[in-house]
Amino acid sequence: MRLHILGICGTFMGGVAALARELGLEVEGSDTNVYPPMSTQLEALGIELMQGYKAEHLQPSPGHAAPDMVIVGNAMTRGNPAVEYMLDQQLRYISGPQWLGETLLVDREVLAVAGTHGKTTTTSLLAHLLDSVGLAPGFLIGGVPGNFGVSARLGSGRPFVIEADEYDTAFFDKRSKFVHYRPRIAILNNLEYDHADIFPDVAAIQRQFHHLVRTVPGNGRLIVNAHDERLAEVLAMGCWTPVETFGIGRGDWRATLIETDGSAFTVHRAGEPIGEVHWSLLGHHSVMNGLAALAAATAAGADPRALLPAFTTFESVKRRMELVGEVDGVRVYDDFAHHPTAIATTLAGLRAKVGDARILVALEPRSNSMRQGAHADALAPSLVDADAVVFLHRAELAWDAGQVTAALNGRGSTVPTVEALIDALAGQARSGDQVIFMSNGGFEAAPRRFVEKLRQR
């Protein structure tokens, strides 16, 4: 079978392409962003890539057969030339999540990781834990986990770990992606308002999470954040699966901090001591992610005590507080921040580690919700642990970021370009500072450009 993937260079669809190729299928695809590193990763797998969304990419030509199936990414819309040709010619088409569910996941023990925050890190950790005890899981992750170096693989074992996104599936399927995965074990990590471009309110997101809950069988397991009232409301809508909760100081799986920065903690399950975790991650949110992964791996049949040593060897995902360089005592991090809660917890973890050292933040409002201003009121409070904030206020931003910087009482400033942002930070940074670039986009390679700027001073 020959597949053509529309939007192939996205992290999720690139993972779908890699899995399809590993299954032995012919795979090609098109995108508007055909460039490294995703393009080189896919080409190394023997996948032909095409620039842009042109009707001729789906047409037969000498040496090029028409696809048997088109897999449609959720960034595709009506009016797209490839989409219009696909519909007019009545080509067979399907969404990425539905293809995964029907083709690959149907015979696997699926462990799905859902939540507003922490999905990528928790999914990566869960796959690493299962791998550490020989269960050889497959996985599809919205990032590149350090322990594996690839975002997707089939795996030789029965478990398959998948990052379960609540974003909608495709232009023809407005259900959340995760309803297609039919997990036996599902982590509900947290639930907050996000994706303002598709959800009118948090209740709409809760309904989608309950759709996921409805698909988990009675002999499966739900692993649920004990601190999250919105998740408790989701379960109150109806639950047919055993639930295990996790939390710091509460829940069935309970952590007690050894180090206030979250780098070490003890674990108890139902009052029984399991052992200690020592790892490189920071913050209470990381402890919660760790508990969730440990509980899910145990539900899959692993011995929790045998899993604990693997925390020490866990290498986090790229762009999750990734240290990209240190120059003259200035440490520079790249972080995939997309929501005020994630910003606040990340900064709180760093503050607990570095004490009185200065924390400088470069912030790009990049997600759809950020750009629309859905989180504007919560941004300034989320930056309480920052000593200085430089806010990238592009001309096309739909709201005035001055309201955020004004609320920072002299700690914040706005700039119109990445170049100006790098210059502003370079003028402030001094030895001992921690500089964090926060964006869920490419940020025009700002963290690494800033490191080079420091080297040239």
The rounded distance, in Å, linking the Cα atoms of 424 and 417 is 11
The rounded distance, in Å, linking the Cα atoms of 262 and 242 is 28
- Give the position of tokens 């791998």: 131
Q: What's the pLDDT score for residue 445? A: 87
Q: What's the pLDDT score for residue 270? A: 95
The rounded distance, in Å, linking the Cα atoms of 390 and 125 is 32
Coil, strand or helix at 58: helix
Q: CA nearest 416: which of 437, 435, 436, 397?
A: 397
Coil, strand or helix at 157: coil
Q: Which two tokens stand for residue 94?
A: 């399907």
CATH fold label, 2-95: Rossmann fold (3.40.50)
Q: What's the pLDDT score for residue 72? A: 98
Q: What's the pLDDT score for residue 376? A: 67
Q: What's the pLDDT score for residue 144? A: 82
Q: Which CATH superfamily is domain 105-312 in?
A: Mur-like, catalytic domain (3.40.1190.10)
- In the chain, where are the structural domains located? 2-95, 105-312, 322-456
Coil, strand or helix at 22: helix
For the 322-456 domain, the top CATH level (class) is: alpha beta
Q: What's the pLDDT score for residue 239? A: 97
For the entire predicted model, the pTM comes to 0.80
Ranges of the chain whose pLDDT falls below 50: none
Q: Which residues lie closer than 8 Å to 360 by C-beta, 6 or more apart?
A: 386, 387, 388, 389, 390, 425, 428, 429, 433, 434, 435, 436
